[in-house]
Amino acid sequence: MLLLKNGLLVDPSQNICEKMDILIANSKVVELGKDIKASPDIKVIDVNEKIVAPGFIDMHVHLREPGFEHKETILSGCRAAARGGFTGIACMPNTNPVADTEGVIELILARAKRYDLVEVYPIASITKGQEGKELTEFAILHECGAIALSEDGHSVRNSGVMRRALDYAKMLDLLIISHCEDEELAGSGVMHEGLISTQLGLAGIPREVEDIIIDRDIRLAELTKGRIHIAHVSTKSGVELIRAAKKRGVKVTAEVTPHHFSLTDAAVKGYCTNTKVNPPLRTEEDVYALIQGLQDGTIDCIATDHAPHAREEKDVEFDYAPYGISGLETAVPLAWQNLYLAGHLSMLDLVKTFTTTPAKILGIDRGTVQAGKNADITVIDPELTQKVKRETFYSLGKNTPFQDWELTGWPILTIKAGKIVMEKGEVNE
């Protein structure tokens, strides 16, 4: 048994933001109270002046395994998630082989269960081999454990295929997650198209690359009455499209990454390949719009788009480097500092973007600290200030643009199903 004493419980699912003790036994929350007494057989952890929240959920992670274990493995990714304060992660299907069969989904689930660090929710591919042509067997994939469907890394180019996907998924009440990119329009672009790309002599990616597919997929969701989730929104105009669609009653949700609300395309100066991400870092105007989207609920949640790469892959000319940032271990302090401490979101609203909302979007019984529910809990030290050091990452991907940034508000305790999997930055296995 475990007792968390004197913490500030922040639980949006119950609209609670007050000091509470939490008693945990047999993987469940047993009791919430003001002054729960501890018997000799109970382990007590004093979390005075700490934030106690439902376990954080990241609905957009690349674990790379199978096929790209030199970038990340399921084990190293789960370690990184636990250290980052996450008790649940949904992993994207662009592995090798692609997660488009029962075998791959079952492998991911079996290995995650073996390590038992965080809950892993596999996302299956929309089309076979992610080739954009033939739909996968949605029902079979869902039955064996796929929680959603995505072509992440690519858009479904054929609008007819995307329409059929939304129709088929609706029959199963499955979520379609859309990576919005008109690849032909993007061409050879490697960063946001604007003044800085011109100054640096790098080919640009205009906002329309993203916006065209956001608009198309929203329209197809409206047509089919299916559910669509827009991944890693980066543009002001994209936020406006989603806002208008929600007002019309379209079943659309959206996410934003910490790097898109923390950085602008100015970070690319110096040609650091760790700033190369897809969609690209945009402008201050876009960052402001993303934050506004979080404030008014247009953007529902924060997801990392954790995309680890081997050092030698990023240590090349900017044009040739792969896209992606290793984000699991820096997401929480980036959000705490740039959204809560900056005065953009309340504590409850910030926690909601990592807990209650992603749980609701994915349709999982998580994101709450209630008696009888799974004891998935994240504890944050709101005063802990330390520098980002890639050398300490559990992820195999050290590709972070935040190296040596001093951030405040780090996770110090991660509890998954009543088991302490991370304490003071150290993962317990």
**Distance from C-alpha of 124 to C-alpha of 139, rounded to nearest angstrom:** 11
Pinpoint the alpha helices (H) of 355-425: 356-362
Q: Between 74-83 and 102-115, two packed helices, what is the crossing angle to 10 degrees?
A: 50
Q: Say what the alpha-carbon torsion angle 27, 33, 35, 41 is, to the nearest 10 degrees.
A: -20
* Cβ-based neighbour number of residue 247 at 10 Å: 9
Q: Write out the two tokens for 26.
A: 């047999």
If we measure between CA atoms, which residue out of 379, 341, 371, 376 comes closest to residue 359? 376
**Nearest alpha-carbon partner for 243 in 293, 312, 310, 290:** 293
152 is catalytic: no
Distances from the Cα of 80 to the Cα of 73, 118, 314, angstroms: 10, 10, 19
User: Cα–chain-centroid distance for residue 115?
Assistant: 20
65 is written with which tokens?
A: 């395994």
DSSP 330-377: THHHHHIIIIITTTSS-HHHHHHHHTHHHHHHHT-S-S---TTSB--E
CB atoms inside a 10 Å sphere around CB 399: 30
Residue of 11, 152, 265, 305 marked active site = 305
Count how many residues are written for the chain. Answer: 429
Taking each continuous run of H as one helix and of E as one strand, the counts in the chain are 14, 19
Give the three-class secondary structure for 216: helix
Adjacent-strand bridge partners of 230? 178, 254
- Across 47-157, the runs of DSSP E, i.e. the strands, are 51-54, 56-61, 86-91, 119-125, 148-150
Q: 246 φ, ψ to 5°? A: -60, -40
Of 51, 39, 42, 40, nearest in space to 6 by CA = 51
Is the alpha carbon torsion for 14, 123, 80, 342 positive or negative?
negative
How far out from the chain centre does Cα 214 lie? 19
Cα–Cα distance measured from residue 300 to residue 228, given in angstroms and rounded to the nearest whole number: 12
Q: Which residues are tagged catalytic? A: 305
